Chain A
Amino acid sequence: MKGILKLAYKLLVNDRAKFTALLVGITFAVFLMMFVTSMFMGVLNHSSSTVINIGASIWVMDPAVQTIANTIGMPDYVLDAVRSMRGVKYAVPFYSGGALVKLPDGTYQAVTVIGLDDTSLFGRPELIQGKIEDIYGENAFIVVRDAEFSKLENPHIGSELELNDHRGVIVGIASVSTSGLFGIPTLYTTYERAIQYIPNPRYTISYVLVEPKSPADTQQIKQQVAALGYLALTKDEFMRRAAKFYTYQTGMGTNILIMTVISFIVGLSISAQTFYTFILENLERFGALKAIGTRSLELVGMILFQAAFTALTGYGLGVGLCTVLIFLARQRLPSYAAMLTYTNLLLAFVMVLIITAISSYVGIRRVLQIEPFDIFRG
């Protein structure tokens, strides 16, 4: 069979124009699929940036909360109640909200303000300048150096800013693993200062961050929180909840699906059409092979090999192209929201397999239909 496959390989690759057209079609389709789904995965990942950066095991929230961005305040007793629950090692309040910063040039810039528990500073970012204890200083804020940092006119330690008519001072510059989705800078401060600076409704706790005594306690904590009328989610569950919201409630998922289907159709059209033309042009020779003594199964094997070889090469090129483009984009925009995951690699691979199957099915049918007698008959 090795020699027959080599024969199939040479027949395919030596027809450079068709082979190139096939590769371009599949590469382009894979690239589009990968790129669109990578952007989607990146957006979903960035949409849960705070959840990732804070790193709490369990998040307690109002059941109506869908994403970290749309918080619903909870009364203080929730914090007390959670702290007294079985299996809880510790629980701290957490604030996340939006504010307006007045810049030195008089313009305004929206920011996300994160208020960390005053006692523990649980979820504090990694500082690249300054000391974390300075966050307790008067009007102290820590600014995150990410892609949005420049929107605050590149502040440094000691820079002053006006936040909701309050004076603020930058005491540290931090880095976080994941940037936010909405293109606005992030400031960290203490919980108490956050609720003091930002006008709030009656209830101020955005989330209660919980650390269980052991992972096995997670379930019973969730049950106890549910009995209280609130919702407790693990980090992954919260991220999935946000992803689900963006996918199904915002139309983003539908758009991505449409783009993916279009990529699939484009890839399928180009490769199936080109492959079929390739088969048609070689139909008489396949007939001659049949006459000489090639078994039908061997012909099927040759065509499947040709289709699979093209598909896998195109898949590799498409993935490579996508990776290079994301890499280049990240050189310019460090927080560029696109990420390759095993899920979108698998999705593109499955689509390539479907394209291969359909393309080769059409070819196989045609080749199996040809009678060697037709070769004699001309």
Chain B
Amino acid sequence: MPTLAIQAKGLTKWFGEGSAKTTALRDVHLDTSFGEMVYIVGPSGSGKTTLLSVLSGILKPNSGSVSVEGVDIWNLTADQLADFRLHKIGFVFQDFHLFPRLNTAENVAIPLILRKNDWDESIHEASKYLEIVGLKGREHLPPVKLSGGEQQRVAIARAMIGQPDILIMDEPTASLDGDTGQSILKFVHDKILNSNRCIVVVTHDNRIYEFATRILNMEDGRLTGTEERAA
């Protein structure tokens, strides 16, 4: 029986008040296990990103709970939660959010630097991860000198360098062409997903569905269906 990575119960989240009130999540229940690559898909405005934010400890729900590896993350203090994210969760953002004034290796090393690791050791480790994602020799280039796909790989290396148990990917192919997107997700599936890691991907790019182990459909703030896949 696979171990539970994330367990969400009764998540509700709304924004605004009165007539401006918008409900983004409505009583969402969700379990993900290690070894899974779970996709959350659905139309724009269905609450995918909100759910991802709540699951990763970034946005507090109005009600419900999120347990990551048995820790009720929304009972942690702000600093504890920040530490939890730093050590347990890796993020790949839609727009990568790489620092243009830092070189590639420095960008990748950020999570280790935030963990107060030695600078030079962090850069050395970053070089190893850049090699893993196929960017050996690009350590000293600024991100703007890289293609979109390469930047995404840098973002993945940054997310992975701290060896997080949970990897959160928000629209990872949105800024990439079809082939590049596929190769990136294939790389994530083949090289990063393992039995000790859970990957949650928000996307509406059906060209990458083939890498999912499970696809959760969202509509109007609710999980409306689950599709198990043998990726």
B6-54 contacts to A, CB under 8 A, are 49-50, 52-53
Question: B111 contacts A293, CB within 8 Å?
Answer: yes
B94 interface neighbour in A2, A14, A376, Cβ under 8 Å? A376
Question: B119 contacts A11, CB within 8 Å?
Answer: no
Task: Report the stretch among B99-107, B184-192, B210-218, B222-230 that lies at the interface.
Answer: B99-107
The chain A residue with its CB closest to the CB of B101 is A14
Known contacts: A284-B97, A376-B58. The answer to whether A295 contacts B119 by CB under 8 A is no
Judged by a CB distance under 8 angstroms, whether B117 is at the interface is: yes
Question: B97 contacts A285, CB within 8 Å?
Answer: yes
Judged by a CB distance under 8 angstroms, whether A298 is at the interface is: yes
Q: Please, what's the 1-or-0 string for A1-29, where 1 marks a CB less than 8 Å from any CB in chain B?
A: 11110110011001100000000000000
Q: Please, what's the 1-or-0 string for B69-96, where 1 marks a CB less than 8 Å from any CB in chain A?
A: 0000000001100111111010101110
Judged by a CB distance under 8 angstroms, whether A90 is at the interface is: no
A1 interface neighbour in B102, B116, B122, Cβ under 8 Å? B116
Judged by a CB distance under 8 angstroms, whether B144 is at the interface is: no
Judged by a CB distance under 8 angstroms, whether A372 is at the interface is: yes
B101 cross-chain contacts in A, Cβ below 8 A: 10-11, 14-15
Known contacts: A4-B113, A373-B53. The answer to whether A378 contacts B82 by CB under 8 A is no
B50 cross-chain contacts in A, Cβ below 8 A: 373
- Min distance, Cβ B224 to any Cβ of chain A, angstroms: 21
Q: Please, what's the 1-or-0 string for A281-311, where 1 marks a CB less than 8 Å from any CB in chain B?
A: 0101101111111111110000000000000
A4 cross-chain contacts in B, Cβ below 8 A: 113-114, 116
Judged by a CB distance under 8 angstroms, whether B150 is at the interface is: no
Judged by a CB distance under 8 angstroms, whether B179 is at the interface is: no
Question: A292 contacts B94, CB within 8 Å?
Answer: no
Bound complex: CA A294 to CA B116 (Å): 11
Judged by a CB distance under 8 angstroms, whether A312 is at the interface is: no
B114 cross-chain contacts in A, Cβ below 8 A: 3-4, 289, 292-294, 298
Known contacts: A1-B116, A289-B110, A293-B82. The answer to whether A11 contacts B94 by CB under 8 A is no
Judged by a CB distance under 8 angstroms, whether B170 is at the interface is: yes
Judged by a CB distance under 8 angstroms, whether B131 is at the interface is: no
Bound complex: CA A290 to CA B59 (Å): 12
The chain B residue with its CB closest to the CB of A378 is B94
B119 interface neighbour in A3, A292, A293, Cβ under 8 Å? A3
Question: B111 contacts A3, CB within 8 Å?
Answer: no
Interface majority SS (helix, strand, loop, mixed), chain A? helix
Question: A376 contacts B53, CB within 8 Å?
Answer: yes
Bound complex: CA A66 to CA B2 (Å): 92
Bound complex: CA A373 to CA B122 (Å): 27
Question: B113 contacts A7, CB within 8 Å?
Answer: yes
Q: Please, what's the 1-or-0 string for B110-147, where 1 marks a CB less than 8 Å from any CB in chain A?
A: 11011011110010000000000000000000000000
Q: Please, what's the 1-or-0 string for A165-183, where 1 marks a CB less than 8 Å from any CB in chain B?
A: 0000000000000000000
Question: A296 contacts B78, CB within 8 Å?
Answer: yes
A289 cross-chain contacts in B, Cβ below 8 A: 110, 114
Known contacts: A372-B58, A376-B49. The answer to whether A292 contacts B111 by CB under 8 A is yes
The chain B residue with its CB closest to the CB of A7 is B113
Question: A376 contacts B99, CB within 8 Å?
Answer: no
Known contacts: A1-B116, A376-B52. The answer to whether A288 contacts B93 by CB under 8 A is yes
Bound complex: CA A3 to CA B78 (Å): 22
Judged by a CB distance under 8 angstroms, whether A365 is at the interface is: no
B97 cross-chain contacts in A, Cβ below 8 A: 284-285, 287-288, 375
Bound complex: CA A298 to CA B86 (Å): 13
Question: A3 contacts B122, CB within 8 Å?
Answer: yes
A1 cross-chain contacts in B, Cβ below 8 A: 116
The chain B residue with its CB closest to the CB of A19 is B101
Bound complex: CA A377 to CA B15 (Å): 13
A284 cross-chain contacts in B, Cβ below 8 A: 95, 97
A378 cross-chain contacts in B, Cβ below 8 A: 94-95
Question: B91 contacts A292, CB within 8 Å?
Answer: yes
Question: A291 contacts B111, CB within 8 Å?
Answer: no
15 example contacts (A-B, Cβ-Cβ < 8 A) are as follows A3-B113, A3-B119, A3-B122, A4-B113, A11-B99, A14-B102, A284-B95, A285-B99, A291-B56, A291-B58, A291-B85, A293-B84, A296-B82, A297-B79, A376-B52
Given A293-B114, A295-B78, A295-B79; 18 other pairs, CB 8 A cutoff: A3-B117, A4-B113, A4-B116, A10-B101, A10-B106, A284-B95, A285-B97, A292-B91, A292-B111, A293-B83, A295-B82, A371-B58, A373-B50, A373-B58, A375-B93, A376-B52, A376-B53, A376-B170
Query: Nearest 5 pairs between A and B by C-beta?
Result: A293-B86, A14-B101, A288-B97, A3-B113, A293-B85
